[in-house]
Amino acid sequence: MVFDPERPGLCLLNPTAWLVLELCENRTEQEIVSLYADLFGNRLGRAEAGKHVSAGLQTLAKWALLSLPQEQT
Protein backbone atom coordinates (compact mmCIF):
# COMPACT_ATOMS: atom_id res chain seq x y z
CA MET A 1 0.00 0.00 0.00
CA VAL A 2 1.06 3.55 -0.69
CA PHE A 3 -0.21 6.64 1.09
CA ASP A 4 -0.31 9.89 -0.85
CA PRO A 5 -0.64 12.92 1.47
CA GLU A 6 -1.57 15.13 -1.51
CA ARG A 7 -4.66 13.02 -2.12
CA PRO A 8 -5.53 11.44 1.22
CA GLY A 9 -6.14 7.77 0.77
CA LEU A 10 -4.34 4.52 0.23
CA CYS A 11 -3.37 2.94 -3.07
CA LEU A 12 -3.13 -0.83 -3.13
CA LEU A 13 -0.42 -1.71 -5.64
CA ASN A 14 0.11 -5.05 -7.30
CA PRO A 15 3.57 -6.57 -6.74
CA THR A 16 4.89 -5.33 -10.10
CA ALA A 17 3.84 -1.73 -9.53
CA TRP A 18 5.27 -1.80 -5.99
CA LEU A 19 8.63 -3.14 -7.19
CA VAL A 20 8.79 -0.61 -10.03
CA LEU A 21 8.03 2.19 -7.57
CA GLU A 22 10.84 0.99 -5.31
CA LEU A 23 13.27 0.96 -8.25
CA CYS A 24 12.27 4.35 -9.66
CA GLU A 25 14.21 6.88 -7.63
CA ASN A 26 16.64 8.82 -9.86
CA ARG A 27 16.66 6.11 -12.53
CA THR A 28 15.70 6.02 -16.18
CA GLU A 29 13.19 3.51 -17.48
CA GLN A 30 16.01 1.49 -19.04
CA GLU A 31 17.87 1.38 -15.73
CA ILE A 32 14.70 0.20 -14.01
CA VAL A 33 14.23 -2.52 -16.65
CA SER A 34 17.81 -3.72 -16.16
CA LEU A 35 17.43 -3.89 -12.37
CA TYR A 36 14.03 -5.55 -12.66
CA ALA A 37 15.37 -8.17 -15.09
CA ASP A 38 18.39 -8.81 -12.84
CA LEU A 39 16.10 -9.49 -9.89
CA PHE A 40 14.34 -12.25 -11.84
CA GLY A 41 17.53 -13.80 -13.20
CA ASN A 42 16.92 -16.30 -15.98
CA ARG A 43 13.21 -16.63 -15.16
CA LEU A 44 12.35 -13.45 -17.07
CA GLY A 45 13.91 -12.09 -20.25
CA ARG A 46 14.75 -8.42 -20.76
CA ALA A 47 11.89 -7.91 -23.24
CA GLU A 48 9.34 -9.32 -20.80
CA ALA A 49 10.88 -7.27 -17.98
CA GLY A 50 10.42 -4.19 -20.15
CA LYS A 51 6.71 -5.00 -20.53
CA HIS A 52 6.31 -5.42 -16.77
CA VAL A 53 8.12 -2.17 -16.02
CA SER A 54 6.14 -0.26 -18.63
CA ALA A 55 2.85 -1.55 -17.21
CA GLY A 56 3.99 -0.71 -13.69
CA LEU A 57 4.96 2.83 -14.68
CA GLN A 58 1.61 3.35 -16.39
CA THR A 59 -0.23 2.14 -13.28
CA LEU A 60 1.77 4.47 -11.04
CA ALA A 61 1.17 7.41 -13.38
CA LYS A 62 -2.55 6.62 -13.54
CA TRP A 63 -2.73 6.91 -9.75
CA ALA A 64 -0.57 10.08 -9.88
CA LEU A 65 2.13 8.44 -7.78
CA LEU A 66 4.75 9.56 -10.29
CA SER A 67 5.00 11.68 -13.39
CA LEU A 68 6.23 10.18 -16.63
CA PRO A 69 8.28 12.13 -19.15
CA GLN A 70 6.04 13.59 -21.87
CA GLU A 71 7.00 10.96 -24.49
CA GLN A 72 5.79 8.10 -22.23
CA THR A 73 2.30 9.42 -21.43
Domain boundaries, the chain: 2-66
Q: Tell me the mean pLDDT in the region 18-46.
A: 93
Nearest-10 crossing angle of helices 46-62, 29-40: 120
pLDDT tens sequence across 44-67: 999 999 999 999 998 888 888 888
Res. 12: pLDDT tops 60: yes
Global pTM exceeds 0.75: yes
